[in-house]
Chain A
């Protein structure tokens, strides 16, 4: 069963200029993006800065209103609602079901609130009685591996990793159906990052969390996700089960991305593989496939026709005209 189905999601930002602030262009941040998240599944959304991954997550949280497309969210009782078109008022009762884990554990916690109050706030806002709140906060602290004494302390008394645990406890307070995590470990040092990755894995197992995991680090993504969607200049170029995407990529951009990661192995260092050129400007994307100016396999068709996302093998989708003729290199 799918917790979330996104179909044809598009988000354009107008570029305004001049005295009258007329629209002179559009940044096509997200262009016709479709995917789904199954119950208990973690889908990772990866790509480089400006690819639109954060815009997608903000549309799902309705921090942004999509330009077009549908975001169908299914509640526990089976009712399906399209979040894309709901008014702010109609959204309010649904918001408790979709929670967010933020990137920066220093900016996302109010420094003037006690940790216990930070975690209890979603409960308070949703009318949970005081006695129940107290017990729930203790339960949550235990769940994320913090001592019960953390309740009465301020965020500044904690390290980055511990603060991120507080942010996770807050996100889980209302037993959300879906958790959106935007780069939840990228601000942390490796030793702490490993602790938080393990915590997320534990929580996935214990609570059957459904999660959209937005990240740029392909190593982290391999550890935490069941499936991966790769974005490039507003489009999803490939979606596949995690192990398959890494070992047998079906899109040249995925191959380039995997090859560019510095391998922690000094024996494998002959060539640093980097695609030439730069990420295209989403205000002025190249015609056809947005990756074609940097793609070593491009043919004339790639410059004129936008490739559709098509299923290659069961459960693997790629948006490349040549996906069936190419044998791309993954990581072993």
Chain B
């Protein structure tokens, strides 16, 4: 009944930096001025580790993924920062400096970096069979005969747990259930054996038992292949089950970064604390009220002064939080961007 998670003893050594994002900034141009959707995002994806990125709608978590891959929707545009592939090595490459439509970035996208979407139908065409689309993806990156690519596709579909892959390869996406479609989406992301995977809300559209199957699959593949996984979600349950490290986002900034156990045991940022308390719990006393965060997430165009969370914060320091912004969490260090957390010594995440 339980999909077993196998850990590969000979797995690739974990911890090496695969991708480092530094000071990423994105603006969405509008008629009157522009809106800053991302404001100085720094994070690291490391081999064999899962970085969970969590936040409410509009916090910029999806924009971060799209900015890394150079697939921002217009009128969004990158206005600053670096996206370093293989940082610190001789092969280091700044993806942010590449032409988003150029061959160099296209080789990385779907090659070194795989992408899994929330709704696999957005990634799949309705006009082609599942097999044709995966074969096309493989052949866009590798020189392989059609027959060899087809055989590889059957193997991929088998690996992601699709029953009778030699038949399903000729199915159209609409003939598959939501769970099977997401498995196809994962197979497609894995087509070129990427060492980095970005999954944007991969289970949000799925039912709870299907979600459990897909999470178990993602965890198994990530561990076996030593993939650096960036998992974007709004669900603290998914974060608790999947992430090694967690970045909590609010209004285009990372407000807290910590290893998952410490984040849940001792959250530093008042927003993280409030978020954790407001999650409905299946262990709750019936009819128990939830802790709430007053107000709503402001529009990025109307970012509050000082700390952007201050109008909703119960621990606001009058005269300070509304005028001065707390310093951001330094890349790779555990901590929170909050005046209350600054007294705590920031430790490097090992």
Interface residues of A (CB under 8 A from B): 48-49, 159-162, 189-195, 197-198, 201, 204, 216-220, 222-226, 242-243, 246, 256-267, 269, 271-276, 278-279, 296, 331-332
Contact = CB atoms under 8 A, between A and B. Distances in A.
A223 B213 contact: no
B301 interface: no
Interface string B101-141: 00000000000000000000000000000000000000000
Contact of A191 (B212, B274, B282): B274
A190 B237 contact: no
B292 A257 contact: no
Interface in B274-305: 274-276, 278-293, 296-297
A190 B213 contact: no
A190 B212 contact: no
Contact of A219 (B1, B219, B276, B280): B280
B188 interface: no
A225 B210 CA distance: 24
B284 A223 contact: yes
Secondary structure at chain B's binding surface: helix, strand, loop or mixed?
loop
Interface string B256-282: 000011001000000000111011111
Contacts of B288: 223
Contact of A332 (B275, B283, B293): B283
B2 interface: yes
Contacts of A193: 278, 280
Interface residues of B, number: 55
16 contacts: A48-B208, A189-B56, A189-B57, A190-B234, A191-B275, A194-B291, A198-B289, A218-B208, A222-B281, A222-B283, A223-B281, A223-B289, A262-B241, A269-B240, A273-B1, A276-B3
Contacts of B5: 271-272
A12 B239 CA distance: 40
A149 B177 CA distance: 46
Of B4, B242, B292, chain A has the most CB atoms within 10 Å of the CB of B292
Contact of A272 (B219, B234, B283, B285): B219
B286 A226 contact: yes
A260 B280 contact: no
A267 B56 contact: no
Contact of B2 (A159, A201, A218, A274): A274
B211 interface: yes
Nearest to A274: B212
A262 to B, nearest CB: 3
Contacts of B226: none
A224 B1 CA distance: 30
A234 B296 CA distance: 38
Given A269-B241, A272-B241, A194 B286 contact: no
B335 interface: no
B216 interface: yes
Of A159, A189, A191, A195, chain B has the most CB atoms within 10 Å of the CB of A191
B247 to A, nearest CB: 15
Contacts of B331: none
Contact of A266 (B260, B274, B278, B292): B260
A107 to B, nearest CB: 16
Please provide the 9 A-B residue pairs with the shortest distance between their CB atoms, ordered closest to farther: A262-B237, A219-B280, A274-B212, A48-B207, A194-B290, A260-B212, A194-B278, A191-B293, A189-B56
B240 A265 contact: yes
B215 interface: yes
Given A223-B284, A331-B282, A262 B2 contact: no
Contacts of A224: 287
Contacts of B212: 259-260, 262, 272-274
Contacts of A162: 296
B238 interface: yes
